[in-house]
Chain A
Amino acid sequence: MSADEGNNSAAGFDISDHQPAYVFTPSKNSDDASIRPTKRRKIAKLSRPAHEQIDAPAFEFESLLNGLESSECALLGEANEGTLAEVTYFVQDTTQTGHIVPAGFIVTGPNIASQSLLFSQLSKKLKEEINGPVVTLRSGDASNLKAALKHLIREATNQRSADGDEEGGAVFERDGRKLLNYDLEILNEYVKAHGTKKVIVAFQDSEAFDSVFIAELITLFSSWIDRIPFVLLFGVATSVELFHERLSRAASRSLYGAQFDVEQTSLILERVFQKAIAGVKAPLRLGPVLVSSLMERQHDHAQSVQAFTAALKYAYMCHFYANPLSCFNDSRRNSASMKKMLQPEHYEAIRMLPSFQMLIESLAKNQDTTLAQELLEKDDVLLRKVEKSLDSKEQDMTRRLRCMHVLYVASGESAGRIDLYLKAFTGTLGDSEIVRGVLDSVKKVSPEDLLAFLERIKVAMETGNPDLDLEGWLEEVRDTELFQEMVDIEKQVSTLVNESAKNGKPVRSSYNIHSKGLRTTVIAQKVQLSYEKSSLSEEDVKYTAIVDRLSKALEKYFTFENTQGVFMNEVWLYDSISPHRDVFTPRPRFAIERALSAPQDYLDSCDADGEALSANKPATAILYQMYLESGTLVNISDIWTAFYSIIGGAAGDGYDERTALMLFYRGLADLKLLGMVKQSKKKMDHLAKSAWKGLTQKLRRVAGKDGWTSPDVIRTSGARGSAI
């Protein structure tokens, strides 16, 4: 088949290969027919189990995705809701005075990728609310005045053409003479005919327009404003001041308007994150590695929220497409239906999980060999254990999230929620700097502030967090250790406060001493210290003990185990970044360089003996190797000689000269396709080299390294500075 097809592609000149575009119809050649059945059978075989897998959790997977998408869309809508309402109000409310055009400046921030969503929402909303056409101009649509006007008129008049085609036709003629299609007179007629109140022109990316052109357009609009009720909207990525500077004075004089700020992407992102990743109801948790890589990509490449949600969606897709155990991840499961669905392979797969192995190991360590054996041998026992662990996982998750919320509140809402999430899931939250900071501050606060702090935590427990879908859980924890401790502490502290109020002597903990006053010399500090120590009252000592108790209790509360150690975490935790890296941040240059410089990685018939130039590599790879070794100028004649000496018949088994030349041609044309060579004008028969291997990769690595080292560098230098 291969030889046939090769010949076909070369000899049988298929007309469709060189047609610009055509509608696909499957080839029904007789020679193809012999191939296809086998192929189809193969694919069918492959696809069936895959389909079953999708089908099985389909009810669950689809609902999950839909849930995510709808909630995220709602979020985006909500985020822009305020802006939309303001703009709509502004548009409705404006009345023109003289030749001044009302204009709304929508400051969107630098993320141009989210502009299109905002403007489509805007035009949708305005179309609903306002009697009049809404035209969105993009810099790509209109390069000059004429094109912009054409576009504007066409968009404005076509919008209503559905309900009245005859009017649309009539507009173009007036008094028997035809109007040019960029004459605003047409729009005027249209406005009169429809009784339009407003004509809204939105410039989506106003920075990308030529400033002269925008100024011209504005002056033109202002001269028509007595007949056509224009309202302009500008999407401004920088600031209104900068935009103003770009305009001519005449143009800016004929504008008046208001500024609208759009909620920044990072805020929206955080909300999406809370809802979709950290939310209580999320059935699938994303691991810390993946989340941090997603966040990094988001920050480094200033992507839109849509790109982020697409990445999230892809994570879900990967999990449910590639992991057969994802069928356990269904909140509505019960053991009966489970048993029916599960195949022996599922149990086999569970036993292969690293977390299962860890479980067995720990059982063996605890001398609980019977259970371990049963788990290994009996499917029923295993299933029960799995269900139990999945149930406990729900509680564990809830506890984690509650704790995160408490910590967030306790830290005075300064800690980033995303950061908290990452730490909570790697199990490093307990000794993270955030917790440390909270505990330290608890030790130092005055009793009054401590009471307020306890109250804050209580309120947090009572109300939960709607963003995380977290409901208040105060009732549940009434009898837990921490809460009891807190109540107890609160009581003691309030008595202390009362006493101190009577005494008129403030109570403070021993930790609070150093922060009071600034010492100029070491000796003074020492003196002060001893003085303070000795002057600690009984209340102070008591209070210090209380504070210590609280901080211990909190520390215990904030400590978790790493999620990766929990049995069955593979079912509800997805933490693999390689599919995302491959699929969202492609490295085409690296791929091509690798293919050409190491074809043995792909083709078995090239031996991998490490020799860069050998005749059994594809022609282009040989040529590429020579190309890499040459300088900026490549003599074609010499490279041909070298090429022929490798591939040619010197050894007796090579190609003859003409065939070698044919391969040389092909390789050269390939290199040209890749943009690696061009004709050099400097010398006859020379090529100019324009690509070097491995540069992007290197840069990336260097950048990554810098990113890692710099904080350390700062820290060490800081430490040194303080030491000195």
Chain B
Amino acid sequence: MKRKKQSEDSTNGHNDEPTSKRARSGKLWNLGAEAVLVNEDETTFPTRGNDQLDNNTEEEEQEATPFQESSYDKDEVDEDESDKVEQATERSAESEADGVPANERQRERINGGLTNSAKKTDANGTTPVKGPRGKKLFSTPSKTRHTTDETPKLERHVNRSARRKSTRNLIERIVLGNTSDNEEGEEDIEGHIYGSGDDEEEEDEDAAQEEREANDEIPVDAPETPSKKRGRRKGSKNKQPSPPPTDLPAHELYFSQNRGGRSKTSNNTLSSLQLLDHEEYFTLLRTFVDPHTNDVEWLQELHAGSFNQWQFELSQNFNICLFGWGSKRSLLMSFAEHIYNSQMDHSQNKIVVVNGYVLTLTIRDVLNTIAAALTNPAPRLGSQPTDMLENLLSVLGEDTSRHITVIIHAIDRAPLRRPATQIILSRLSCHPQIQLVASADHPWFPLLWDSSLRSMYNFLFHDCTTFQPYSSEIDVVEEVHELLGRSGRRVGGKEGVSFVLKSLPENAKNLFRVLIGEQLAAMDDSSGAVYGKDDDDDDDEDDEAQTGSRRHQEGVEYRVLYQKAVEEFICSNEMNFRTLLKEFHDHQMIQSRKDALGTEMLSVPFRKEELEMILEDIVS
């Protein structure tokens, strides 16, 4: 028996390809199998298929008989037990449905486990009979249905062989009424309920622990094992339902969260929540009083204390870069004021402020503003940024007593992120008459600069954590809606679309209807594929990118739409078609995007439900 177990172990161990979900679920479930092997070998065999069943049972009987007398034996109890198990399963299923907190479930389970084990110890002493067990195996399907009806998630997994195997085993155990396995089964269910990768880790740990236990104990006194197991099991079970571990070292946490496999989240959506629009957001913001105001103030005061030091550093031809959490705008502005107040001659020394977060900002604006600060009227710098820089520097060199302090808010935001822009800024900053004070928000901003840029910038970095809200840096509502995939709200939601459509001619309406119809069809195709895939495959990055791009493409090809439109007599030539589309574009009702192959894809930036409603509106 020991030999068998080991061979089973080794096969399980080696088949474990980390990428294959199937193998993983096999492993995950393995602890179940392990326990079965430990406690009652024979129960695993029926799962291997009916043709093998007979041979195995025979083989089994020979091997297993020595301990059977002492350990498995509770024919009379079996019925009770299985009832109990059913109840327990139901309970857990119910609790899942009700969203009962985990610990309650656990308590129930512990109780169940206790009673069961008590039952079991009582039942020691009778001889097991093979026959009924085999029959029970075939009576399971009804039970399976019973369980799976209440936990829809399980049902889906049952279809896959590894899962099928595990479920069958689970049922076996339930039917056979072994208590420790019973818990095992619940853990399995619990795994589904929890759904996050961390549980798997714990289960794996458990499995490892069990393996260790099994290896240690079984050879010594196998008959004793089940009861021992039970005792230990309770202990290990207590930590089981705790939320995903948070005290793992950072890299462990990363791997445990990224291990692929099911990354389970609920299917809740925000559809019931009425989202904020700009107006409401700002109304709320205005009435909101931040309880941390005083502390935030104090932090700023603290940083302001080093203004003199910064000024000294600037005077020694260093540039300054501030980083850390919170908006550094007001800090930098008060630093600007500090510099301004300390300057004697305001005609020779100027301060230029650049708002790096303004999306329309270009490097030309920066250079032109500096030039305008230098001389009045501003000199013509040219059109190419590199020319402009050269010209600007030569203008600057004409009078070496002039100094310009350039303050750049958010030097790491999108408008200034391009390498060419950064090169120009760095060349500007290394001019002795220019002092640069910049702020950076992103945690990875140093990646913007290679070593040559870094030495050009000659930055001194200061950690300025201010905790101030990014009130003017971020368009909060817009950003969040983009995250939620609700950018269509820009038009004013679907009401806005209907409103626009009302004012458009019939042809335009029809075109929009065709477009939505096509897009919905595309969505159905791709989302079906995506969701199907989602269940089957690992959630690794590649996969996401792939499905992501597919989801992205769920627009309608420009050509296809045109063909459709012509077929439906909506327009007769491309000119016509374009004019109609232009109208939609102007109202931001459609988006056009080029995919990897360069074909133009058109889409309506709404979610499926909303699209359906719009379509209904149009049709009605």
Contacts and interface: CB of A to CB of B under 8 A. Distances in A.
B352 A21 contact: yes
Nearest to B539: A632
Nearest to A606: B292
Contacts of A695: 250-251, 254
Interface stretch (A40-48, A122-130, A548-556): A40-48
B440 interface: yes
Interface stretch (A193-201, A301-309, A352-360, A384-392): A301-309
Contact of A662 (B243, B253, B284): B284
Contact of A303 (B304, B361, B451): B451
Given A675-B443, A679-B483, A629 B352 contact: no
Interface string B374-407: 0000000000001100000000000000000001
Interface string A625-655: 0001111111111101100000000000000
B440 A588 contact: yes
Given A24-B340, A592-B324, A665 B270 contact: no
Given A154-B387, A631-B263, A685 B269 contact: yes
B67 interface: no
Given A24-B336, A679-B485, A603 B292 contact: yes
B358 A638 contact: no
Contacts of A688: 544
B454 A113 contact: yes
A697 B268 CA distance: 35
Contact of A116 (B452, B483, B534): B452
Contacts of A628: 246
Contacts of B539: 632-633, 682
Contacts of A9: 330, 471-472
Contacts of A612: 246
Contacts of B475: 669
B340 to A, nearest CB: 5
B461 A661 contact: no
Contacts of B362: 20
A141 interface: yes
A673 B463 contact: no
B351 interface: yes
B427 to A, nearest CB: 9
Contacts of B268: 635, 637-638, 641, 685
Interface string A1-38: 11101110111001011111111101100000000100
Interface stretch (A433-441, A536-544, A594-602, A715-723): A594-602
Interface stretch (A70-78, A86-94, A525-533, A578-586): A578-586
A185 B472 CA distance: 52
Contacts of B420: 140
B499 interface: no
Contacts of B358: 18-20
Given A20-B358, A592-B324, A669-B476, A605 B292 contact: yes
A629 B386 CA distance: 47
Size category of the B interface is 35 or more
Nearest to A675: B442
B455 A304 contact: yes
B270 A636 contact: yes
Interface stretch (A210-218, A313-321, A330-338, A482-490): A313-321
B73 to A, nearest CB: 44
B351 A23 contact: yes
A514 interface: no
Given A11-B286, A21-B361, A24-B351, A588 B443 contact: yes
B138 interface: no
A302 B451 contact: yes
Interface stretch (B119-127, B293-301, B509-517): B293-301
B159 to A, nearest CB: 21
B324 A589 contact: no
Interface string A665-703: 110111011110111111111111101111101100000
B569 interface: no
A637 B197 CA distance: 20
A310 interface: yes
B471 A10 contact: yes
Given A24-B352, A669-B480, A603 B296 contact: yes
Contact of A113 (B325, B452, B477): B452
A685 B445 CA distance: 28
Contact of B291 (A605, A634, A673, A675): A605
A591 B323 contact: yes
A132 to B, nearest CB: 19
Contact of A23 (B352, B462, B483): B352
B451 A595 contact: no
A314 B451 contact: no
Contacts of B340: 24, 26
B548 A681 contact: yes
Contacts of A592: 324-325, 443, 465
A583 B461 contact: yes
B265 A633 contact: yes
B419 interface: yes
Given A321-B312, A603-B292, A303 B455 contact: yes
A302 B452 CA distance: 10
A659 B52 CA distance: 64
A586 B461 contact: yes
Given A24-B340, A677-B483, A638 B355 contact: no
B566 interface: no
A692 B250 contact: yes
A452 interface: no
A111 B455 CA distance: 11
A557 to B, nearest CB: 40
A115 interface: yes
B485 to A, nearest CB: 6
Interface stretch (B2-10, B26-34, B364-372, B573-581): B364-372
A477 interface: no
Interface stretch (B41-49, B181-189, B233-241, B275-283): B275-283
B493 to A, nearest CB: 17
Contacts of A304: 451-452, 455
A112 interface: yes
B463 A591 contact: yes
A325 B150 CA distance: 79
B479 A602 contact: no
B144 interface: no
Nearest to B609: A684
Most buried by B among A3, A26, A663: A26
Given A24-B407, A116-B452, A605-B294, A637 B273 contact: yes
B128 interface: no
Given A10-B282, A17-B355, A679-B484, A673 B470 contact: yes
A681 to B, nearest CB: 4
A178 interface: no
A683 B281 CA distance: 26
A670 B474 contact: yes
Contact of A669 (B284, B308, B309, B479): B479
A54 B309 CA distance: 11
B265 A638 contact: yes
A10 B551 CA distance: 37
B530 interface: yes
Contacts of B308: 43, 46-47, 50
B423 interface: yes
Interface string B184-198: 000000000000111
Contacts of B583: none
What 9 pairs between A and B have smallest CB-CB spacing? A694-B250, A595-B325, A586-B461, A681-B548, A24-B351, A589-B443, A20-B361, A603-B295, A637-B268
10 contacts: A19-B355, A24-B350, A24-B353, A592-B443, A595-B465, A632-B263, A637-B269, A669-B476, A689-B257, A692-B254
Given A314-B318, A682-B539, A682-B548, 11 more contacts: A5-B330, A46-B308, A47-B308, A154-B387, A588-B323, A588-B440, A604-B298, A662-B276, A668-B480, A692-B253, A698-B251
